[in-house]
Chains A and B, each alone.
Chain A
Amino acid sequence: MKELSVNHLLGIKYITKNDIDLIFETADHFKEVINRPIKKVPSLRDITIANIFFENSTRTKLSFELAQKRLSADVISFSAAQSSVKKGETLIDTVNNILSMKVDMVVMRHSNPGAAYFLSKNVNASIVNAGDGAHEHPTQALLDSYSIREKLGEVAGKKVVIVGDILHSRVALSNIFALQMQGAEVRVCGPKTLMPKHIESLGVKVESNLRKALEWCDVANMLRVQNERLDFSYFPSAREYSQQFGLDKELLDSLSKEIVVMHPGPINRGVEITSDVADSKQSIILDQVENGVAVRMAVIYLLASKIK
């Protein structure tokens, strides 16, 4: 009988290819479940999950909550803005207080890289990382790979380019780990100022010309320009960014083959991609969102089954 090799999902780099395969097989079943007339199963009736978000999030938080509710778990959600964190409570204290209310699993987003790892070493619960600073965002990478697998049949052998702010992006890092583990080839493309210095050491090539990158790839993952993380001017203006690294319909149609366009959301329409690209048939942005629920159900189900 197959099971995950880990008790927490802290990042893609802590799991194996077998784990990813198991998560995807399980997600296939949950995708069928969420398309039934009644989209709910009673598996996690006796599990309580806390969603702790120290950073803003709409999509990820909703997606996790929905996944948990579709599995019949009890859910408490909590945003740092309205909490005692503002009064000076430490992370471990906050989480331990929540755990004393008999919570089995914690889904956390935090602005510090390693926050989820730190928590997993210090509290007694199964931890799911929903984004820790510029480090990892494993469920996003899993749903991205799952969506590629669904659209193109498999991930192995595919060429994927990640475009945009690689420096601040946890989505980029988790995607690089996940795609390479499954045998895909990855390149990154973006302004030099937003490219980490030693990115090549991860085995990815840097391409500074968007057209060349797109001509090479099967899939383009267009990252969001994260204005909230740009503490100084990394590029002159949004307009200049979109001219060099934005994807519009004209560029997409001029390519020699049809590529798949992805975006982790939320989209800055007209900056990373234009509206007609986002809404085109080559875009699988909304499939990513649907798959997000199925993949998160799979992750939570598989982790919860290891809670004793």
Chain B
Amino acid sequence: MNPKVLLTSKEVDIILHRLACQLIEKHLDFSNTLLIGIQPRGKFLAERIQQIIKTEYGIEDIPLGFLDITFFRDDFRRSSKTLEANKTQIDFLVEDKKVVFIDDVLYTGRSIRAALTAIQSFGRPAEVELLVLIDRRFSRHLPIQPDYRGRQVDAINDEVVRVYWSEDGQDDSVYLLQQTEK
């Protein structure tokens, strides 16, 4: 079966602008807000959103960090492979700040559960929100929902939602793949 296009480059662009506006609506000048991209796939999305808010709405200096959750995952030794880590880069304290987690796809919710634990190593945030590009509803293992979502998708468990970024060397796009095509 051919991979199905869920979002084209143009649609991704429109959605990113909407998500940026929704963030501004809630956080205004971002004076007490931090953006945290969840590694590895949330990094590009977080950078894009920060860039849009900066260039198109003139809000500079929004703190942006990247959080790796590998060591906080709940499937250590349950998968047959070693879990490989990515870089965490958080050069600020999150104590009493509003934190927005940013990730590409929300699926079971387990990554976000791990991120909620991991972020505590950097202090106690005042509140935590979640922004995702794709929300795969009906597949949650945990009671976790996004505060900002790009597109809601119904996909069965055999299918994989894959987000590509131009930083990867492809056009911005979102595909629905069969497990074997991953």
- In the bound complex, do residue A4 and residue B121 qualify as a contact, i.e. CB atoms below 8 Å apart? no
Considering only residues 9-36 of chain A, those with a C-beta below 8 Å from chain B are: 25-26, 28-29, 32-33, 36
**Which residues of chain A come closer than 8 Å to B68, judged between CB atoms?**
29
Asked if B57 CB lies within 8 Å of chain A CBs, one says no
**Which residues of chain A come closer than 8 Å to B123, judged between CB atoms?**
37
Q: Among the listed A1, A38, A308, which residue makes an inter-chain contact with B77, where contact means beta carbons less than 8 Å apart?
A: A308
Given A42-B117, A302-B82, A307-B77, also A36-B122 (CB < 8 A)? yes
- In the bound complex, do residue B76 and residue A43 qualify as a contact, i.e. CB atoms below 8 Å apart? yes
Q: What's the dominant secondary structure at chain A's contact region?
A: loop
**Which residues of chain B come closer than 8 Å to A85, judged between CB atoms?**
none
Considering only residues 76-97 of chain B, those with a C-beta below 8 Å from chain A are: 76-77, 81-88, 93
Closest B residue to A297 by CB, please name it. B71
Q: Among the listed B82, B84, B120, which residue makes an inter-chain contact with A38, where contact means beta carbons less than 8 Å apart?
A: B120
- In the bound complex, do residue B121 and residue A46 qualify as a contact, i.e. CB atoms below 8 Å apart? no
**Which residues of chain B come closer than 8 Å to A202, judged between CB atoms?**
none
Given A37-B121, A42-B117, also A29-B88 (CB < 8 A)? yes
Q: What's the dominant secondary structure at chain B's contact region?
A: loop
Alpha-carbon distance between A304 and B86 when the two chains are bound, in angstroms? 18
- In the bound complex, do residue B88 and residue A43 qualify as a contact, i.e. CB atoms below 8 Å apart? no
**Which residues of chain B come closer than 8 Å to A269, judged between CB atoms?**
none
Considering only residues 27-62 of chain A, those with a C-beta below 8 Å from chain B are: 28-29, 32-33, 36-44, 46
- In the bound complex, do residue B121 and residue A38 qualify as a contact, i.e. CB atoms below 8 Å apart? yes
**Which residues of chain A come closer than 8 Å to B122, judged between CB atoms?**
36-38
Given A37-B122, A41-B72, also A1-B81 (CB < 8 A)? yes
Given A2-B82, A305-B83, also A37-B93 (CB < 8 A)? yes
Alpha-carbon distance between A306 and B81 when the two chains are bound, in angstroms? 8
**Which residues of chain B come closer than 8 Å to A25, judged between CB atoms?**
85
Q: Among the listed B76, B84, B117, B121, which residue makes an inter-chain contact with A1, where contact means beta carbons less than 8 Å apart?
A: B84
**Which residues of chain A come closer than 8 Å to B121, judged between CB atoms?**
33, 36-41
Considering only residues 54-109 of chain B, those with a C-beta below 8 Å from chain A are: 68, 70-73, 76-77, 81-88, 93
9 more CB-based (< 8 A) A-B contacts, given A32-B87, A32-B88: A3-B81, A42-B71, A42-B72, A43-B71, A43-B73, A43-B76, A305-B81, A306-B82, A307-B77
Q: What are 7 A-B pairs with beta-carbon distances under 8 A?
A: A3-B81, A29-B85, A29-B86, A36-B122, A37-B122, A38-B120, A304-B77
